[in-house]
Chain A
C-alpha cells in the first residue's frame, strides 16, 4: 500500500479526462459530509465514506421525491472505501445518483467493502441501465480508470440486478477480466446476500410493486399534474362565470365552482386513488382502472348533488359524467411510467384503445359542457 502515484490521476472527482490529477483545492471547501477520510491503496488514495445517513441526506432525499433539484444530485464517479477494506474485500457497483449511492452505503454498515460508482449522469441504476449509461462500457472504463485491478486481488464485481438491462456480464468479463455477480434488487437485502456467499434468493430477485412502492410515486404524480388540473379548473371557473353571472366568478357561478372541484377530484382519482387501489380495481389497463375510479367519483358527486340529475340539466350531467372519468383515465394511464410491470408493447396496445376513447369522450364532454352553459337556466 505504498505506491500512491501511478493511477491516482484518474480516480478523484472524475468529470472527464481534463480534470486535474486530484482535487485537494476543491476538496478543502467542497468535501461532502459523507466523506470521512481517505484510505491509501496501490492505485492511490480512495475516499473513505460513512455508512450512516445524516439528516441532510434524508432531507435531500425527500426533496428529490418531490422532484426538486434532481439533476444537481450526482456523486463523483470513482472508487470509495467502506469500513477497512483490503485486497480481498468485495466490490459493489452503483450509479452516481445520490439516492442510489445512499441506499447502498446505508446497508454496508459494519462491512469492509469497495464501492465503485459509475458515471450515470446522476440517474438511478434501473433508468440508467435502460439508457445504457449504466452499462458494459462504463463499467469497463471505470474499472480501468480507478485502477481497481491493483486495489483488489479478486476479480468479481457485484452489480445490482436492476443494472442488468445495460450490462452484458460476459462482455464485462471479456473486456475487463472481472466477473459480474448480480446482487439483489433491494439494497436492504445486501447483508443477507453477502452472508449467503453472494447468492440471492428468488424473492431478492423480483421487483415488487406493493402499496408502499405505489404510494411513493404519488407525490411526484401530483406535482406533475396539479398545475394542468388547476389551469383547466380555473378556465372552467372563468368561462362559467363570464357566461352566467357577468364578471362575478363566484356568487351565482355554482356550475363553475362545481366543475372546477370535479376536475380536481378527477385528478386525485387518477393520480392517487387509482394507483393505490391498483390490485383490486377490476381492469388490467391503467386507463381502465382510472376510468373506473372516475366513474365512481362521478357517482359520488351525483349522489352529493354536485352533478345535477334532472331533466332540464341533462346536458350538464352528461358533460360532467364524460369529463371526470376521462381525466382520471388519462392521469392513471400516465402512471404506467412509474410502474414496475408494464411493458412498452403493452402500453402501446393499451393506448391504441384508450387514447381515441379519451379524446372522443373529452371532446364530447367539453362541447356538451359549453352548450350547457349557454342553454342553462
Chain B
C-alpha cells in the first residue's frame, strides 16, 4: 500500500474520552484505528489522509483532525484566491481530474 509523508497528519486522539464503540475503525479507509477494543488504538497514523470520517463519527468527540482534500491544484487555487477547493467544484465536474470518481473504478 502506498504511503505518503510521515509526521504530517493533524490527527489527534484522546484515549481517555473513548467509549469503545468501534466506529473509527469501521469508517477509516486506511485502517488507522484498530478494531473493537477499548479504548481504540491508533496503528499507523502516517497512513491518515485527513478525510475526517473518524472525527465525524466519534460519538465521544475523542478525535480531531483538520479534514481536507490533499490536492495540489486545490492548494494552488486557494493560494491564488480563485475558488477554494479543486475537488468536486463545478469546474472539476467539467473535467478536472481532482477527486474524480475515477479514482477508484469500483467505489460507489
Contact = CB atoms under 8 A, between A and B. Distances in A.
Given A123-B88, A351-B72, A338 B66 contact: no
Interface string B55-67: 0110100000011
B4 A160 contact: no
Interface in A123-170: 123-131, 160-162, 164-170
A70 interface: yes
Contacts of B50: 343-345
A202 interface: yes
Q: Pick the most buried of A165, A185, A335: most chain B CB atoms within 10 A of its CB.
A: A165
A334 B73 contact: yes
Interface string A67-94: 1101100000000000000000000001
A212 interface: yes
Contact of A337 (B2, B5, B9, B98): B98
Contact of A340 (B88, B95, B97, B103): B103
Contacts of A208: 1, 104
Contacts of B107: 103, 124-126, 160, 162, 185-187, 207
Given A125-B107, A278-B2, A348-B75, A223 B29 contact: no
A339 to B, nearest CB: 7
B51 A165 contact: yes
B82 to A, nearest CB: 15
A68 B95 contact: yes
B96 A224 contact: yes
Contacts of A247: none
A125 B94 CA distance: 17
B106 interface: yes
B104 A207 contact: yes
Contact of B5 (A170, A187, A213, A349): A349
Contact of B70 (A68, A161, A213, A342): A342
> What is the size category of the interface that chain A forms with chain B?
35 or more
Interface string B35-72: 00000000000011111110011010000001111111
Contacts of B3: 284, 341
A114 interface: no
B103 A339 contact: yes
A326 interface: no
Interface residues of B, number: 57
Contacts of B18: none
A126 B99 contact: yes
A209 B29 CA distance: 12
A41 B69 CA distance: 40
Contact of B101 (A71, A124, A185, A223): A124
B26 A202 contact: no
A285 B48 CA distance: 15
Contacts of B67: 130, 165, 344
Given A205-B29, A341-B3, A216 B103 contact: yes
Contacts of B23: 169-170
Interface of B: 1-5, 8-10, 23, 26-31, 47-53, 56-57, 59, 66-76, 85-88, 90, 93-108
18 contacts: A103-B107, A124-B88, A130-B67, A165-B53, A186-B104, A187-B106, A207-B104, A209-B1, A220-B96, A286-B72, A334-B98, A337-B69, A337-B98, A338-B100, A338-B102, A339-B103, A344-B71, A351-B76
* Top 8 A-B residue pairs of the complex, sorted by shortest distance between their CB atoms: A67-B95, A337-B71, A337-B98, A344-B68, A127-B88, A342-B70, A164-B53, A124-B101
